[in-house]
Structure 1
Amino acid sequence: MDNDPDLSLGLESIYYYKGQKFSGKMKSIHPNGTVRITSFLNGLEDGLTLDTYPNGQTSAEYFYQQGKRIGTHNGWYENGKARFQFSYKNDLADGDHWEWHEDGKVYRYARFKNGTNIGTKVWRKDGKIYSNYTYSPERLYGVVGSKLCFKLKGDETNQKTIINP
């Protein structure tokens, strides 16, 4: 991909080969040795994009339709344990998004609806919760290093602790 002078990237992330919108599979090799095979249709990512470690084991799989992320995207560590699982609908994050530490313990959980983050929790490697946030259109509620959001003493607004109002 990087060495082919006939391949070019145009406006709106459309790929061209010899001046025509590219359809087919593109192979790229990342500096860490990971190989990516990306499917294209009419210049846009379409279908499965697959990453593999140098040993041939699957590193990640992503799905696209007319250049937009769709479905469930999964990633794995070299030890075979899950690394991430994200879901998309029409190129927007939608549903549960999970990330794990290499030892298999949960690192991060986030919930999205139509591209908007509704809430996020992050855990330390020792399993203790590091942060717990709930989002609303106006504010971010939560605290770093706490297991639960809580009401501040004397706060008569009945709001939870606010970070970055």
Structure 2
Amino acid sequence: MRVFSIFIALCFSLGLSAQSRPVALDDLEIKKDPNGVTVYYLDGQAFSGKTYDFYEQENIALEHHLEQGLLTLKEGFRDGQKIEHVEFKDGILDGVYLKYFGNGQKYVEHRYQSGRMHGLQYGWEKDGTVRFVAEYKNGLEMMRMDYPPPGGFKPMIKN
């Protein structure tokens, strides 16, 4: 009985609770609010905290940060190296969306506002050279510049 009492006291002193146990995103109940935004619940309460998922076959770990049931941040890691960073506001994609190559070099950097691409967007090759630059306004592409492949473009006009 004394060992059990010490264990309970230790749990409370460390601040351990049911909410602090590792939780996977699949453990949460999903509901849509009146605006169609996904809200996550655990044991009937809007979940606040992190979820942890691991996909052994690809060696990918995902962390989802939630506040009051709404996504605020998603981060992905492969072999401990960050491969994805996605920001949300009120559960909707809003902010920076980054993906990385396995060598740590950025693959794409997109910006979102209220779930739509907005602002400058960038893409890179694995060696760090720019692949494209685009500008979006409320989800519509306003401008795009794709950079030539190695060796350049073949001329269309012959002398």
TM-score (normalised: structure 1): 0.66
1:100 & 1:21 partners in 2: Cα distance?
38
Q: What percent of counterpart residues are identical?
A: 23
Say if 1:41 and 1:3 are closer, same or farther in 2 by CA, change over 3 A. Answer: closer
- Report what 1:26 is aligned to: 51
Pair 1:76-2:100 in alignment? yes
Larger radius of gyration: 2
Pair 1:38-2:102 in alignment? no
The one-character-per-residue Cα deviations of 1:15-52 (angstroms, maximum 9, x if unpaired) are 11112222111112244222111111122102x32111
The one-character-per-residue Cα deviations of 1:58-95 (angstroms, maximum 9, x if unpaired) are 11211111112222222221112111111122322111
Aligned residues: 128
Unpaired stretches in structure 2, ≥5 consecutive residues: 1-23
- 8 Å Cα contact 1:72-1:85 kept in structure 2: yes
- 8 Å Cα contact 1:105-1:125 kept in structure 2: no
Unpaired stretches in structure 1, ≥5 consecutive residues: 130-144, 148-165
2:151 & 2:142 partners in 1: Cα distance?
22
RMSD value, Cα: 2.5
- 8 Å Cα contact 1:106-1:127 kept in structure 2: no
Aligned ranges 1:76-115 → 2 under 5 Å: 76-115=100-139
**Mean CA deviation greater in 36-45 or 104-113:** 104-113
